[in-house]
Structure 1
């Protein structure tokens, strides 16, 4: 594949000369290095223990993200109860509705402080109030995604926003354990926690993948997905060890380590060299590149000396750089508009891509969050089924690891979406074909569980592939914003899942709608280009110019 036209050129005294240089390829006698060339030569080929540990540190944020996403499964659980000896009139039985019984006829199996439902007597308050804190968390994630995402692409950068988001998420979680005296304060703090959590996964993914060459991009991205699964699986263990204790203890033990993690990232992680360069911070770019480079020092000095001059610009005080971009070109290219979202919407091709991946994310999110929530609708052991769903994320992550290296992104997303949709719809078919009084009732339950796991597994794998696909579809200047928008679409799809689960206890409105939605959303992949093996671009104009050249070359080849 030919290199894209050089976006990053030598400094020029006039904007017209720069524009002319961008418009035409370099002469055969000289070749101007691009930012991608320089980074690839410094960090692209080798991936050792230092790079691995750096990726581990950054990707660990996904584990804390997962804990706060699913923590209400245990803290807001509807506790079990039993009839008391004071039940002299025999009005209480295991089939009774607790809200219709007098207080002296029943009691909780565990102390009331083990769950928010029992501590604040929400068992009869209605499903809306009992589920309000969880809904508030996802609402906060939606709001935080829109507000915080542009900061990673503009003023704060990837590293600082990751630290800020983790601190906001963890401190609000600690406050939840300390000051929540009623469901309304609890709901407000869950909203704040979701607001901070919104950018954690996105910043960790972008920062980790921009610290390595394109050869290792997908592999490093998978480390984050594995940590998300580990964080999810850590919750049942923490909840089991915390059984009989206050639900507040679970918040404390999940949030206190996040504060320590934020401090470690602040002192030991590096900022993305791509972001530093595009923001014009050349000295920090060069310093970071030297620290994370995997080539021997003499070779690194040769590379950097060929890309940077040792003279200092007396007027600006910055290091003169052969890869420099002057202010006029930066403004003309609209690198850093006040909003990265505006830059995405301004370019028709970028908007079409964003709309397509968000549509796919919506269907994926509906199944990803809806399948675990709907397990209570299946006649299968709930605890076992939840454990199996959590464990299925491991093979999904490993499967993505191998599939992403061998197959095209478009075919993967489409195939996984359709597979998930078909399995989800088959759950309803099995429900209708084999009734509950049949001799094969046990086999029906087992088959439904297998289909549910297959659908959830496909959705998990599809989500992982979609994140890598989105990362490759957009340039550095808007990549974080695009990834955040896709994650917001996934969360938005999840918001509808509880409603569909409640409305479709015994019908098509749960698994049937899940299946149709994700299968149809997968068809939007036809609006996207294939990105397997493609080099990352740094600006929208560079991406547009590269693809224009590729399209022109394709037309010329077909007409030849």
Structure 2
């Protein structure tokens, strides 16, 4: 690969400004050059990271909102005839022998008389949302690497997701509702990926893991806000939940459009050097502004690798390069297993013998220590071993949660929380792991594919949960077996802790070959 030669010089004298600096034997890479500019963490970078990461709040709300809007409401007998008190399934009772505990408009199940519908019907809206995420991720993911960039795709995704969520309030039946959930999921697909990649590319490698975890905290805040909003509107229509979560999302989108900067790495890789420099000047700490002078003469950064081809060329590169595909396949398999637990468990809380509002709150709160563990230990944790360990723990406790009997029922919520905490931590580490495994020009696409694998696992969650509500299957048992088996694929991945991230495929491939040669020499 040709060397990239953006040079930094300190204008401490007239001589340094008027004469070009002497050529070094080894020119600094793009990564090292940006490190000199933004390696220290300043307030401008913190505010940018906080603003971008706030997108996760609205992402979380739309992801888990069906826990309340699509919940099976509680009911009571209105007569002692027909053995009402001894029957747990209202489908076996006459309609006039029971009634809902709350107004019928509090859930789509009671409003549209779906209490006896097939599990595939009642689980359709949530599954449609995840199917939309899956399709949207495949269709939109590469736009952040190719044409739109991280910021513009984040803005458009947040705006369209919030608008489609707002339109959901006009649903008249389960089919219209499911179609709008599909659109909402499609628009939402790239929010988390764009936010995570953009925040980590705005800082130096020293702060990459810590800044990435800000998004996980924001996701937790969004998740945690749902039971509060639902409880305050517990007697109102389920449509109010969509109103209170979509309108703030629309306002937030405007803030992204006007105040968020594009990734300087992406701008440089796309050949937009002047914009990249302007962005660096706006976010670099004041102590670095004195020598932020770039010289672009002789720059021969291999932009062909990233600029040519259509918007799906990045996925093509990931598949064609053997070393990249050997990394992409395992992380996607791991993501599938984690996604089934991470997205499926909260949807199944209604099947546990515990208060729904409290159980959702506890699950959301369990993400706080998960994010805290990640942010405090990410610099010390080996990525590969951590992902393997947390997926195993999650799988074991999920299977234990599925065991029947009065003794196990008492500990169900505790076992579920441990499993969900472990899955959340594995989720966090896997995303940071993925960012470090792939270079800048394909990083967003690779991360998006991993997130789509997570979402694909989530597609099956609502169906399993709906089946469990009819005592057809133990969803938690399936969750545990899947995440445990998928987590084993972590052994196929290289360790990336403390490693400098690359910007082109050739640079990463050169590093991969060098590592293989080193291992070969040791074995020889």
- The TM-score with structure 1 as length reference comes to 0.85
- Asked whether the equivalents of residues 128 and 182 of structure 2 are also in contact (C-alpha less than 8 Å), the reply is yes
- Asked whether the equivalents of residues 375 and 385 of structure 1 are also in contact (C-alpha less than 8 Å), the reply is yes
Q: Name structure 2 gaps, 5 residues minimum.
A: 8-21
Q: Which structure has more RCO (C-alpha within 8 Å, separation ≥ 6)? A: 2
- Residue 34 of structure 1 corresponds to which residue in structure 2? 29
Superposition pairs for residues 141-160 of structure 1, below 5 Å? 141-160=133-152
Query: CA separation of 1:168/1:346 partners in 2, compared to 1, >3 Å: closer, same or farther?
Result: same
Alignment partner of 1:216 is 2:189: no
Alignment partner of 1:537 is 2:515: no
Superposition pairs for residues 403-418 of structure 1, below 5 Å? 403-418=377-392
Superposition pairs for residues 191-230 of structure 1, below 5 Å? 191-230=182-221
Per the TM alignment, residue 447 of structure 1 is displaced from its structure 2 partner at its CA by: 3.2
- Residue 8 of structure 1 corresponds to which residue in structure 2? 4
Alignment partner of 1:110 is 2:102: yes
Per the TM alignment, residue 451 of structure 1 is displaced from its structure 2 partner at its CA by: 2.4
- Residue 485 of structure 1 corresponds to which residue in structure 2? 449
Structure 2 distance, partners of 1:152, 1:122, is 40
Structure 2 distance, partners of 1:267, 1:38, is 27
Per the TM alignment, residue 557 of structure 1 is displaced from its structure 2 partner at its CA by: 6.1
- Residue 73 of structure 2 corresponds to which residue in structure 1? 79
- Asked whether the equivalents of residues 110 and 244 of structure 1 are also in contact (C-alpha less than 8 Å), the reply is yes
Structure 1 distance, partners of 2:113, 2:501, is 54
Secondary structure of the corresponding residue to residue 58 of structure 2: helix
Structure 2 distance, partners of 1:512, 1:188, is 30
- Asked whether the equivalents of residues 380 and 445 of structure 1 are also in contact (C-alpha less than 8 Å), the reply is no
- Residue 61 of structure 1 corresponds to which residue in structure 2? 55
The partner residue of 1:164 within 153, 156, 159 is 156
The Cα offsets for residues 173-198 of structure 1, whole Å up to 9 and x where unpaired, read as: 11111x21222211111101000110
> Could you say what the CA RMSD is over the residues aligned between the two structures, in angstroms?
2.5
Q: Name structure 1 gaps, 5 residues minimum.
A: 12-26, 309-319
Structure 2 distance, partners of 1:510, 1:78, is 17
Query: CA separation of 1:513/1:117 partners in 2, compared to 1, >3 Å: closer, same or farther?
Result: closer
Superposition pairs for residues 395-544 of structure 1, below 5 Å? 395-428=369-402, 431=404, 435-436=405-406, 441=407, 444-501=408-465, 509-544=474-509
- How many equivalent residue pairs? 507
- Residue 17 of structure 1 corresponds to which residue in structure 2? none
**After alignment, is 548-557 or 208-217 more displaced?**
548-557
- Asked whether the equivalents of residues 393 and 457 of structure 1 are also in contact (C-alpha less than 8 Å), the reply is yes
- Residue 52 of structure 1 corresponds to which residue in structure 2? 46
- Residue 283 of structure 1 corresponds to which residue in structure 2? 274
Secondary structure of the corresponding residue to residue 369 of structure 1: helix
Per the TM alignment, residue 117 of structure 1 is displaced from its structure 2 partner at its CA by: 1.8
The partner residue of 1:355 within 323, 326, 329 is 329
- Asked whether the equivalents of residues 43 and 293 of structure 1 are also in contact (C-alpha less than 8 Å), the reply is yes
Query: CA separation of 1:252/1:382 partners in 2, compared to 1, >3 Å: closer, same or farther?
Result: closer
Per the TM alignment, residue 206 of structure 1 is displaced from its structure 2 partner at its CA by: 0.5
Per the TM alignment, residue 111 of structure 1 is displaced from its structure 2 partner at its CA by: 2.2
Query: CA separation of 1:271/1:533 partners in 2, compared to 1, >3 Å: closer, same or farther?
Result: same
Per the TM alignment, residue 57 of structure 1 is displaced from its structure 2 partner at its CA by: 0.4
- Asked whether the equivalents of residues 375 and 382 of structure 1 are also in contact (C-alpha less than 8 Å), the reply is yes
Secondary structure of the corresponding residue to residue 141 of structure 2: helix
Per the TM alignment, residue 418 of structure 1 is displaced from its structure 2 partner at its CA by: 1.5
